A and B are shown apart, each in its own frame.
Chain A
Amino acid sequence: AQSVTQLGSHVSVSEGALVLLRCNYSSSVPPYLFWYVQYPNQGLQLLLKYTTGATLVKGINGFEAEFKKSETSFHLTKPSAHMSDAAEYFCAVTVYSGAGSYQLTFGKGTKLSVIP
């Protein structure tokens, strides 16, 4: 079974500073990896995903993440934080498990605060 660990339940950065949200996964087979963002009182929105191919993936709102198999990591970064980035971020992993199954395993989430 796969699992996800997000280091740090709460991260604070200054506006304009680098954002780094950490995610490590465990999976016995090649995983598909995702980052979702949840704004207050809203659903989950996909930021970016890694399935196959290029290990550095770019997503919406200037975020990117790099799949590092040797480190079993998929950390999320953004060069310069904006106030609008304040939200909760979830890393998720899935492996193919049968017809139509899309069982995402989520991390516990990291709440990002941006300080003006």
Chain B
Amino acid sequence: EPEVTQTPSHQVTQMGQEVILRCVPISNHLYFYWYRQILGQKVEFLVSFYNNEISEKSEIFDDQFSVERPDGSNFTLKIRSTKLEDSAMYFCASGGQGGMNTEAFFGQGTRLTVV
């Protein structure tokens, strides 16, 4: 069964460092997303990506964040200069052609710890 794969499963980084979280979406999907879940809080939308550009982003997704689909298979989230409050579980998701009627498949997440 196709699945969304995220690496690494856990990343520890020092405050101020850049991190790149990687995702391999399901191969024939067209829509890609990043969500995050701070420990004990709800899952929050960060950004959606379609047709090689950001289609929507939340207030959380400020200039420190960027996304890229560099090679047609990977979908990455970069945090340029990490802050303590960036510590969270980050989920990648992808969806097929059906838009709202299509299920978004989530990866298992990358737990980012900023120290």
Contact = CB atoms under 8 A, between A and B. Distances in A.
Interface of A: 32, 36, 41-46, 49, 51, 90, 92, 94, 96-109
Interface stretch (B12-20, B65-73, B78-86, B102-110): B102-110
Contact of B56 (A44, A101, A108): A101
Interface of B: 4, 30-31, 33, 35, 41-45, 48, 50-51, 55-56, 58, 91, 93, 95, 99-109
A51 B101 contact: yes
Given A102-B48, A102-B95, 17 more contacts: A32-B100, A32-B101, A41-B108, A43-B91, A43-B107, A44-B106, A51-B100, A90-B42, A96-B100, A97-B56, A98-B56, A99-B51, A101-B56, A102-B93, A103-B48, A106-B43, A109-B43
Given A107-B42, A109-B42, A94 B50 contact: no
Contacts of A102: 31, 33, 48, 93, 95, 99-100, 102, 104
Contact of A100 (B31, B41, B105): B31
Contacts, number: 72
Contacts of B104: 46, 102, 104
Contacts of A109: 42-43
Contacts of A107: 42
Given A43-B106, A51-B101, A96-B100, A103 B56 contact: yes
